[in-house]
Chain A
Amino acid sequence: MTDVAGAPGTTDRADAPEPAGERRGSEALHFARRNPKLLIGSGIVLAFMLLGFIGPFFLSDNPNEYVGPQTQPPNGEYWFGTTTFGQDIWAQFVYGVRSTFVIGLFGGGVAFLIGMTVGFVAGYKGGIVDDILNMLTNVVLVLPAMVVLIVAIAYLDVRGLFTQGMFIGLSAWPWAARAVRSQTLSLATRDYVDLARLSGRRTWRIITTEVAPNMSSYLVMSFILLFGGAVLTAAGLDFIGLGPSNGVSLGAMLQSAVNWSALQLGMWWWFVPPGLGITAIVGALYVLNVGLDEVFNPKLREL
């Protein structure tokens, strides 16, 4: 028998179990363009990102320079005013936004890589490998991360953005590993994974080409949450004075504002911009995450 159009068994299945590929891609785009949470969230994040990465080219190299009159409220020349020492708060803010994104991308990225590797290997391999990796994950999960970070970072002589990002990454991965592991456990039992093994594929290629693409939306959302978490942790560390030495960040700005009694002196322009900046970036990331969730998960869509 050849395939005759319309013959039983040869018709296209209208009730296909999982919509996929192009159709799913364009469908996601269709809902993405109509999702206000996604649009607002990504709009704010993107605006801050552009500010942080393009802004510094229009400003002096050293935002901590004493450039102008002291204790000026916002005005035409110094948009966000100046500090007690005459530093330009706008310049500090722009550089601070940049370091916020660097720490988010790097710290979140490190955590994401470790979490993904551990989660995929544990979920796919199973057995004793899973037991060991899961135990490690649980141990790191219950470590009081902030305390460990404070102790570890306090002992370092030279602190840069990258050391800070690395430490944040090394402490933030466990929940991502657990999330990825549970998804992998379910996907690894599908027949197409067995079929890939019968096709002579290596384990890591099966993970990257069969398992990971099926949970790409899940991975994107994990990364966003890790990014936001890293930004918050970094702000916390900076605020207690364990930020990058000689650097500038939104957390460090808050710290010096508190150190020099900006609140008591009524210098609101010193602490409001960095506080609002952190809140806006992390808040927008979470709104973006909820939006993405609605786009990828049909059950949450508002039609």
Chain B
Amino acid sequence: MLELSNVHKVYKVGTFGGGRLRAVRDVNLTVAPGEVVSLIGESGSGKSTIGKMVLGLFRPTSGSITFEGTDITTIRGHAARKEYYRHVQGVFQDPFSCFNPIFKADRVFDMVRSSYFPGTPDGVWREKVLDAIATVRLDPANVLNKYPHQLSGGQLQRLLIARALLLDIKLLVADEIISMLDASTRIDVLNLLADLKERGLGILFVTHDLSLGNYVSDKSVILRKGAIAEMGPTQRVFDNPLHPYSRHLLSCVPQLHRTWAEVDAELDANPPEDVVLPTAPDEDSAPLIEAEEGHFVGINQD
């Protein structure tokens, strides 16, 4: 459904755009219908940039992003772009900044209506909105006709997901949608994503939290400095990390029943086997090697 091939993003920085900042380097990945792909990486690894490029908010420097056969970097004109957003929607990290503070929160629904469903009668539209709100498990009486500051982060985040559901979406880009929520609402939103997946939605789940990636996704992509370090089915990536960076990253996850010292001691006692990592022929490319079926490792950038 969604395919990124050899996607690069280089920012020009500094006065007169003299400096170069490589945010995304030679990324190849696919998202199939009903598949949750998590992009995992530390700050500055390029994960949000990939999400924004898929949403068409940034344009890749080179490479192609193909959605159902069309390269979205070639989309020109407002009508075609609008049609693309009918099928691809995003939910962002900070729910408070996603709502214009001077308008009521349900204005996000009205915007979708005026853009995509101008002919829908009021009654039908109201049903549709209530339906979407019920899907995200909110009580309409609690959230409709309120200002953003009167609602909690979790409610706002779920309203944004409900907004995306009003459209006939096939792909949802969820950019760190959990990080601003507290633990009790977190699991609700995660379960909601699982429900959406059942309905055949492809989800690109951008996160820096390894356990969340493990919890929701079918496929995990670990990014480092803009390039893919490791990619594969979540189970395999987490049970058998092959890239030194992923191993290091996984060893950093705090464990309830063990102390750091115990974890380190165990790691030292049986060091994992080294795998052969690909080497990049030049500064631009980042080739992948298939270490086992469907499980890829990328270049070492230490």
The interface residues of chain B, by DSSP majority, are classed as helix
Residue pair B181, A9 in contact (C-beta under 8 Å): yes
Task: Let me know if A259 is at the binding interface, CB within 8 A.
Answer: no
Interfacial chain B residues near A7, Cβ < 8 Å: 184
Residue pair A195, B152 in contact (C-beta under 8 Å): no
Task: Let me know if B67 is at the binding interface, CB within 8 A.
Answer: no
A45 and B87 CA atoms in complex are apart in Å by 54
Residue pair A198, B98 in contact (C-beta under 8 Å): no
Q: A2-B139, A13-B151, A191-B97 are in contact. Are A200 and B116 (CB under 8 A)?
A: yes
Residue pair A200, B184 in contact (C-beta under 8 Å): no
Interfacial chain A residues near B99, Cβ < 8 Å: 192
Task: Let me know if B252 is at the binding interface, CB within 8 A.
Answer: no
Query: Which stretch of A15-23, A31-39, A97-105, A261-269 is in the interface?
Result: A15-23
Interfacial chain B residues near A18, Cβ < 8 Å: 101, 149
A24 and B102 CA atoms in complex are apart in Å by 8
Task: Let me know if B100 is at the binding interface, CB within 8 A.
Answer: yes
Q: A10-B155, A198-B55 are in contact. Are A192 and B149 (CB under 8 A)?
A: no
Among A3, A8, A196, A213, contact of B102 (Cβ-Cβ < 8 Å): A213
Interfacial chain A residues near B98, Cβ < 8 Å: 191-192, 195
A17 and B184 CA atoms in complex are apart in Å by 21
Task: Let me know if B225 is at the binding interface, CB within 8 A.
Answer: no
Task: Let me know if B188 is at the binding interface, CB within 8 A.
Answer: yes
- What are 14 of the A-B contact pairs (CB < 8 Å)? A3-B155, A9-B154, A12-B150, A12-B152, A13-B151, A17-B96, A19-B149, A20-B147, A21-B103, A23-B147, A24-B102, A192-B98, A199-B111, A201-B115
Taking beta carbons and an 8 Å cutoff, which residues of A are in contact with B?
Answer: 1-3, 5, 7-13, 16-24, 190-192, 194-202, 210, 213-214
Taking beta carbons and an 8 Å cutoff, which residues of B are in contact with A?
Answer: 52, 55, 57, 78, 81-82, 85-86, 89-90, 92-94, 96-104, 108, 111-112, 115-116, 137-139, 142-143, 147-155, 160, 181-182, 184-185, 188
